Amino acid sequence: MAQLDLESVFRSLDTDRANMVWKWKLQEELQQSGLRGDDPRIERALNWTLSNGTPFQPGQPEWLDLEQFRMVAREPVIYRALQGELAVPAAEFAELSRGIEQIYADLQDERSGEVAQYIPTLRNADPDRFGIAICTADGQVYQVGDAELGFSVQSTSKPFSYAMALEQSGAEDVHRWVGQEQSGGTFNDPRLSLDAAGKPQNPMINAGAMATLALVEPESDVSERFAKVEQTWAKMMGSQPGFDHRTFLAERDTGHGNRGLANLMAAKDMLKVDPRDRDAPQKTAEFYFAVCSLEVDARRLAAAGATLANGGVAPYTGERVFSQETAGRVLSVMGHSGMYNDSGKFSGLVGLPAKSGVSGNVMMVVPEKRLAVVTFSPRLDEAGNSVRGVEVCRRLVNDFGLHPYKGLGAERAREAVTAGRLALDGVARAGGAAARPAGTESAARAALSSGGQRSTGPEIS
């Protein structure tokens, strides 16, 4: 990669030809790449640089000279943006943003589904709320609608609880306590959640999530264990999660089925708890309720998803939160069990790893593009997935050719088209049938016919 000529970039942004670049002008340039003006990395670099220069009068527009501009560009994400080397190039990101805005507009009138009914905070949610956010591995963000409205994360906590258990105990030990297969039933079905040995089928159902959380800091007090979970979420999102106390209390008061599953696992020695503590299964269930009650929003949850898309490295801190192996394992299980009892159907439609929560959120990870998409819309289908959320994922994948299997052979088809055209050109130049090798024209036309299929939507390449 050629080194960026910062002076040339500085001159291009110095539209007043005054040997300085307005702060707002640089921020505008970075926003064109998908980096928000309130990105903590950009704010930190600008504030530090400007605070060490000549003071500005209150209300005076701030600007950077060439040396200050060079200092700001030492922030890696700013340098990559100016270089045009972010996870998603600026032109692609703009196209993707326009596509999401159109999908959002098209789904405004979608009113099918019902909000979750089992606790008041979910039952009383405004069913018309709707937001979409994307975040890339570099922290490029686009959002529309209610993307900063808080909601309890619910089951979308499960992939990250699984990741924390993998990091602390390793895959071999984790899968002594929880399996890796689809359950074949709903997320809380007591008949299908556990196998004959009392082992949960996978980490994406309630029993499996409780089993994985039992492996997170198991020797510590519950307050320290919960602090560890909060710290992990803060690293991924770049800010602290909130906590929905009312949801937690309601979950605790109504979660008898989950407590029953925890007791069943403990009875079969398939829950890593202190056997001398008869209340240990209930405590495990309540720890699970607390983690499900973490409050996030679509924008911040997208940053957590981008951490998985980036092989475990958080977008805003650059910190490795999970190993590449852990991120890969989590995405694999999300791919086959992340969307409740419609996981197989969703996989056929979308083909990408995703996880949903009954508060109305859906998080889809696009590893090829190193980004995550999160939707929030409380109306759910019969499987418990957001109706709008599933449709956003389906539309996005179809419109931008992101399904990992439906485009197989496309490159070979393009090669066939090219070969067919070259063959026809050769026939034309040869001047007639006498010069044509047997079957050349028919073969060329067949190649054009079979290879000429194209997606009607835009593609991100």
**Annotated binding-site positions for substrate:** 155, 206, 251, 258, 288, 340, 358
Token reading at 39: 């990105």
Residues making up the binding site = 155, 206, 251, 258, 288, 340, 358
**In 3-state terms, what secondary structure has residue 214?**
coil
Strand partners, 242: 295
CB 142 within 8 A of CB 419: no
CB 160 within 8 A of CB 232: yes
CB 288 within 8 A of CB 258: yes
| Amino acid identity, position 100 | I
- Residue 241: name the closest of 227, 256, 223 by CA: 227
CB 337 within 8 A of CB 204: yes
CB atoms near residue 76 (< 10 Å)? 12
**How far is the C-alpha of 312 from the C-alpha of 332, rounded, in Å?**
14
Q: Which helix (H) or strand (E) holds 132?
A: strand 131-136
Residues 371-409 as b or e (16 or more Cβ within 10 Å = b): bbbbbbbbbbbebbbbbbbbbbbebbbbbbbbbeeeeee
Distances (CA, A) of 393 to 362, 374, 400: 9, 9, 11
Assign residue 328 a region (left: φ > 0; alpha: ψ between -120 and 50; beta: otherwise).
alpha
Q: How far is CA 358 from the centre of its chain?
A: 17
